[in-house]
Amino acid sequence: MQAGTVVTTPYQDQKPGTSGLRKRVPIFQQTHYLENFVQSIFDTIAVPPNSTLVLGGDGRYYNREAIQVILKMAAANGFWRVMVGRGGILSTPAASCLIRKYRTCGGIILSASHNPGGPEGDFGIKYNTANGGPAPEKITEAIFAACKQIAQYRIADMPDVELDRLGDYEIGDMTVTVIDPVEAYAELMESLFDFASIRSLLVSGFRIKFDAMHAVTGPYAREILVNRLGAPADSVINAVPLPDFGGGHPDPNLTYAHDLVEILYGENAPDFGAASDGDGDRNMILGKHFFVTPSDSLAILAANAYLVPGYQQGLAGIARSMPTSAAADRVAKALGIPCFETPTGWKFFGNLMDAGKVTLCGEESFGTGSDHIREKDGLWAVLFWLNMLAARKQSLETIVREHWARFGRNVYSRHDYEGIPAEAANSVMKLLHGSFESLKGVQFGDLQVKLCDDFSYTDPVDGSVSTGQGVRILFTDGSRIVFRLSGTGTEGATLRIYLESFEPDVGKHHLDAQESLSTLISIASQISELHKRTGRIQPTVIT
């Protein structure tokens, strides 16, 4: 092996978002584009001696090619070992698991999460730190600063590594260890959940359907749900990871997971359904003709954690992203534990978990997890629900409705307007920022505006401050509307509107969320001038 230095020039568009750098595949295929960003990561972390790096991705288009480049650069930058998933496959939760289990210096995860794949689709790369979680803002900002001034990168001249065969490969002074991508993660899940109880449920006639959406969780779901828990083989659908996700959009929601939705809302529906996304960190939970919002899912898991072996010692606290409903807050109050409200982005939960302040975390964007790793975890949430269903011996819908009867229902919905021209989306946000004073105290029918602001967060562990995290319109009765530009897309802008009201009356818990929120939906349209400024009449996705 011979290591060399390549002269390069900076790209100015390599600023990481909430989950790393995401761009279209052709952008990553530009000369030196990937290499510049990877070298900037290595320069920022100043690779310690005898360091191990975890590496893998969700199998989308360009995954294998990027892995070969990163392996050659890791060798030239002085890594001692790189652990890479067989075939280049590694779910985001599994990567976090490996980083923590083997105490590596961190990992590089190749994924654009729930974004579409393929030759013209999206690709992404992010660095996770030694705690297993996404790099905090101070590190991503340093990576971006390095990207803007990079002049050279280091790469080894060596053959490609055989990724499809387990074992060690010596590359000069560096060892590449190709590992089973599922084994360590499956063992961790078995240590947290009552597999015997779940297995008894699944062989008793209780039917499930898991949609892997032709993404990374297919092999994980087959190993855990079918091989270890005894579910029938057809319980897992779309299980083969494909570079273009079979032409689908690997986002587990009611719109894009349509195969699963049709099954769970059809005749002879199974008892339980779930889906995960491109890199395996998100989840959607369904019962027979019944959808569980991610906000409710977090609250219900917290209220029932005492039923799950890995959490029977009690919860230190709960954390939720600001746009997530306050359902978890009500559970935390009943349990006598704190509930933290953070900006969107799993990295904000890392400090809280490392400090022992929280056990469970969740985001309304179909992400749920705990302190077992430092990422959200789709299959973990599915197993938590199955463990709970096995212990309570009730249907999913009954469990949710009993939860609402006890705590009240936080009626909640998110409206996504995807692919809006950035100028139009920014115009909406500028209008809202300029309306804070004029909106305060305004009456909309029975609703009166109490406060308008742009959410900011001071980390209770390290004191860091994050501003500009979403416009909040808060009403005197506790209802709210939140407007936020998403940081996970690659084309145009995605404007998200979050709507929430609290309904204590059990007699109204059966009402459709869109019907219950119709007044808030109308107010949101009026105060944002959304239709006028963007030309959009309907959301792209409603959840």
Give the tokens for residue 314. 């009690």
Run of H or E residues at 173: none
Q: How many alpha carbons fall within 13 Å on the CB side of residue 135?
A: 25
Q: Per-residue DSSP letters for 461-524?
A: TT--EE----EEEEETTS-EEEEEE-SS-SSSEEEEEEEEEEE--GGGTTS-HHHHTHHHHHHH
Locate all alpha helices (DSSP H) within 102-228, ordered by sequence: 137-147, 183-192, 195-202, 217-221
Does residue 479 have an active-site annotation? no
Question: Is there a contact between 350 and 371 (Cβ–Cβ < 8 Å)?
Answer: no
Catalytic residue among 40, 51, 111, 113: 113
Locate all alpha helices (DSSP H) within 222-307, ordered by sequence: 258-264, 294-303
Neighbour-count burial for 265-301, b at 16+ CB within 10 Å, e otherwise: eeeebbbbbbbbbbbbbbbbbbbbebbbbbbbbbbbb
Q: Cα–Cα distance between 322 and 118 in angstroms, integer?
A: 33
Residue among 363, 340, 166 nearest 277 (CA): 363
For residue 392, the Cα-to-chain-centroid distance in whole angstroms is 28
Helix axes 396-407, 327-335, angle to 10 degrees: 70
Interstrand relation of 367-370 and 360-363 (parallel, antiparallel or unpaired): antiparallel
Instruction: Count the Cβ atoms, other than its own, within 10 Å of residue 484.
Output: 24
**3-state SS of 405-468?**
HHHCEEEEEEEEEEEECHHHHHHHHHHHHCCHHHHCCCEECCEEEEEEEECCEECCCCCCEECC
For residue 434, the Cα-to-chain-centroid distance in whole angstroms is 31
Q: Cα–Cα distance between 471 and 287 in angstroms, integer?
A: 33
Q: How far apart are the first and last CA of the chain?
A: 52
Catalytic residues: 113
